[in-house]
């Protein structure tokens, strides 16, 4: 059956319009998300690959929308960034995650790290370092247990200002991770210039690890780089045993992914995995 070009054009216009309306509604609703207690953090374990021990968690934001159910971050974080709402939302995330980590710390047992995602807009905000300082003070969390995950997009800004801010964060004692490593600008000079502690190998390199010699080579090179520069390395998006074996053969220290645990609410995050053996 042959569709006319015109028909297709109209269909496209229609759906485009609808999705724009949807976006507008979501944007309006997002204003109530914080006040309305609709935001929640899920926690996904990060494990030591040789032992399977959980060494920490990454906090991942969830929006329980009253009408739509769970809205994934990919659908609302861009809106929060455009509107500037990412600043108060990010402040809430940092407070909530540090509070949760401190709660786990007080329960005793091995120290567990907490990773928090920081978007570029949030990082650039003048009050960001203060927000982190305040969250640490309020929670009482050992600053060394907090890792801030930034992407390379943060680092392409005015290098001097970025370096100054990263230094102030390091002075607080927190650790810095480069998220989605390998997908951005990946200028290796960043690793020399900025005080990075952790590389997170993007899922796209891990997906075909067991079958692709090219991806194996790339992941192997990143792991080697981490060892040379004394950086922690976490492989993201690990879903099956073949990937675990491939990562083990490359001596990758840490992994994260559905194979080890999906993101879960705090009350459920500790169940299932072996929580032992510090970081
Ligand atoms: P990200 O920081 O790269 O987080 C990893 C994403 O991969 C999460 O998606 C996680 O649920 C998903 N994931 C983990 N393991 C697997 C796996 O084995 N297979 C697959 N298919 N996916 C896996 P999520 O939670 O939907 O978050 C998406 C992105 O939204 C995050 O990517 C991060 O960039 C952003 N984000 C999430 N929470 C926050 C937050 O609190 N603040 C900011 N600024 N961004 C956030
Ligand atoms: Ca992340
Ligand atoms: Ca990532
Ligand atoms: Ca990502």
The whole model's pTM is what?
A: 0.92
- Residues 177 and 138: beta-carbon distance below 8 Å: no
From CA 114, how far away is CA 112, in angstroms rounded?
Answer: 7
pLDDT digits (tens, 9 = 90+) for 169-211: 999 999 999 999 988 776 678 888 899 999 999 999 999 999 9
From CA 163, how far away is CA 56, in angstroms rounded?
Answer: 26
- Residues 217 and 182: beta-carbon distance below 8 Å: no
From CA 204, how far away is CA 140, in angstroms rounded?
Answer: 36
Smallest CA separation from ligand 1 atom 19, residue: 237
> Chain-wide mean pLDDT for the chain?
90
How many A from CA of 200 to the centre of ligand 2? 8
**pLDDT value at residue 274:** 54
**pLDDT value at residue 270:** 83
From CA 220, how far away is CA 246, in angstroms rounded?
Answer: 10
* Listed residues: CB within 5 A of ion ligand 4: 180
Percent of the chain with pLDDT strictly greater than 90: 76
How many A from CA of 13 to the centre of ligand 1? 31
Residue that wins the pLDDT comparison between 157 and 87: 87
How many A from CA of 147 to the centre of ligand 2? 10
- Which 8-state DSSP code applies to residue 4? -
Residue that wins the pLDDT comparison between 276 and 77: 77
Q: Is the CB of 61 under 6 A from ligand 1?
A: yes
Would you say residue 6 has pLDDT above 90? Answer: no
Q: What is 116-155 written as a DSSP string?
A: EE--HHHHHSTTHHHHHHHHHHHHT--GGGEEEEE-HHHH
pLDDT digits (tens, 9 = 90+) for 74-114: 999 999 999 999 999 999 999 999 999 999 999 988 999 99
pLDDT digits (tens, 9 = 90+) for 221-259: 999 999 999 999 999 999 999 999 999 999 999 999 999
């Amino acid at each position: 059956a042959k569709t006319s070009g015109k028909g297709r054009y109209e269909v496209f216009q229609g759906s485009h319009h609808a999705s724009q309306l949807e976006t507008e509604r979501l944007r309006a609703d997002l204003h109530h998300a914080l006040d309305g207690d609709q935001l929640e953090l899920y926690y996904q374990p990060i494990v030591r690959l040789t032992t399977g021990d959980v060494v920490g968690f990454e906090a991942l934001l969830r929006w329980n929308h009253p009408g739509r159910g769970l809205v994934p971050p990919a659908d609302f974080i861009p809106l929060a960034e455009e509107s500037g709402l990412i600043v108060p939302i990010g402040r809430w995330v940092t407070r909530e995650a540090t509070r949760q980590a401190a709660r786990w710390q007080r329960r005793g047992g091995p120290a567990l790290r907490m990773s928090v995602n920081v978007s570029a807009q949030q990082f650039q905000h003048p009050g960001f370092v203060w927000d982190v300082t305040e969250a640490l003070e309020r929670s009482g969390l050992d600053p060394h247990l907090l890792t801030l995950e930034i992407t390379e997009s943060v680092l392409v800004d005015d290098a001097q200002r970025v370096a100054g801010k990263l230094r102030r964060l390091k002075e607080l004692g927190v650790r810095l991770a480069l998220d989605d490593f390998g997908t951005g600008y990946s200028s290796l000079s960043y690793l020399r210039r900025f005080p990075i502690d952790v590389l997170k190998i993007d899922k796209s390199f891990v997906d075909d690890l067991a079958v692709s010699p090219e991806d194996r080579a790339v992941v192997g090179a990143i792991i080697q780089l981490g060892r040379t520069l004394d950086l922690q390395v976490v492989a993201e998006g690990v879903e099956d045993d073949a990937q675990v074996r491939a990562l083990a053969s490359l001596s990758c220290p840490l992994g994260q992914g559905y194979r080890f645990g999906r993101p879960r609410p705090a009350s459920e995050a500790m169940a299932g995995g072996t929580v032992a053996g510090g970081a």
